[in-house]
Amino acid sequence: MRNLLKTKTALAAGVLILANFALAGSAAAHCDGLDGPVIIEARSALEKKDVTPLLKWIPEASEHTIKESFAKTLQERTNGKAAQEAADRKLFETLVRVHRESEGAPFTGIKPAGQIASVVVEADAALARKNVDHLAKHVAAQVENSVREKFEKTAHSRKTADQSVEKGREFVNNYVQYVHFVEELNNMATQKPEHHPADAKTSGHVH
């Protein structure tokens, strides 16, 4: 039970880390990356000529748009390699745009491969391996290092906080960052999972 709680805490902390990556732009190329899960599945769907696997990435209300785009792509792919690449690109853009819109996120174009944050790559790899141990340990270590770093910085500046107003403000700044970080981690680890806006009309994938 204790190990299970540690794993849950580590994974919750991992969600926070991923959220911070996204806000900083580090993970912006997950859904819209050429090597991201959405486009990888789109390539597979085109090879199998079956649009069904793609529908889980979008709301029910957008199914017609994707089905129409998919059918058009299959037709245009028969006109040579250049036409195939152009058609595939249009489908990828449409699929990713609709997917991101369902999350309330803007579509800023398809991103080159190789820009996905390493922790996101590891999260996907853990799912592929059906084993979260390595990911949980990695994230837990990252979180512990961050907490310790912020603690040490705050504790050090606290010693000189009364020497001047400037030193006092330095301490307060460090203290606020430290406490807010710990509080956010704890909230992420204890709050109930939020439902994705499109959960009721999709197959439940959350980016």
User: Under a CB-based contact definition with an 8 Å cutoff, are residues 134 and 126 in contact?
Assistant: yes
Q: Tell me: do 125 and 108 sit in the same domain.
A: no
Q: Tell me: do 83 and 124 sit in the same domain.
A: no
Q: Tell me: do 166 and 91 sit in the same domain.
A: no
Residue that terminates a domain, selected from 91, 116, 141:
116
Number of domains the chain is built from: 2
Q: Tell me: do 44 and 86 sit in the same domain.
A: yes
Mean per-residue pLDDT, 1-19: 48
Between these two residues, 18 and 169, which has the higher pLDDT value?
169
Q: Is the pTM of this model over 0.85?
A: no
**pLDDT(148) > 90:** yes
When mean pLDDT is compared across 5-9, 129-133, 134-138, the lowest value belongs to 5-9
Residue that terminates a domain, selected from 62, 84, 116:
116
Q: Tell me: do 41 and 14 sit in the same domain.
A: no
* Rounded Cα–Cα distance for residues 61 and 198 (Å): 10
What pLDDT score does 189 carry? Answer: 82
Q: Tell me: do 108 and 132 sit in the same domain.
A: no
Q: Tell me: do 179 and 99 sit in the same domain.
A: no
Q: Tell me: do 5 and 23 sit in the same domain.
A: yes
Q: Tell me: do 110 and 161 sit in the same domain.
A: no
Instruction: List pLDDT tens digits, range 153-165.
Output: 999 999 999 999 9
Instruction: Indicate the pLDDT class of residue 202, thresholds 50, 70 and 90.
Output: very low
User: Under a CB-based contact definition with an 8 Å cutoff, are residues 119 and 146 in contact?
Assistant: no
Q: Tell me: do 140 and 38 sit in the same domain.
A: no
Residue that terminates a domain, selected from 97, 116, 135:
116
What pLDDT score does 105 carry? Answer: 87
What pLDDT score does 28 carry? Answer: 45
Place of tokens 């996101």: 120
Q: Is the dihedral of CA 8, 9, 13, 16 positive or negative?
A: positive
Between these two residues, 36 and 196, which has the higher pLDDT value?
36
What pLDDT score does 31 carry? Answer: 83
What pLDDT score does 129 carry? Answer: 94
Domain extent at residue 98: 28-116
Residue 33 pairs in a beta bridge with 111
Residue 204 falls inside a structural domain: no
Q: Tell me: do 106 and 5 sit in the same domain.
A: no
Q: What percent of the chain is modeled with pLDDT above 70?
A: 79
User: Under a CB-based contact definition with an 8 Å cutoff, are residues 88 and 47 in contact?
Assistant: no
DSSP tag of 193: P
Residue 130 falls inside a structural domain: yes
Q: Tell me: do 20 and 63 sit in the same domain.
A: no
Residue 205 falls inside a structural domain: no
Place of tokens 């204890």: 190
Residue 14 falls inside a structural domain: yes
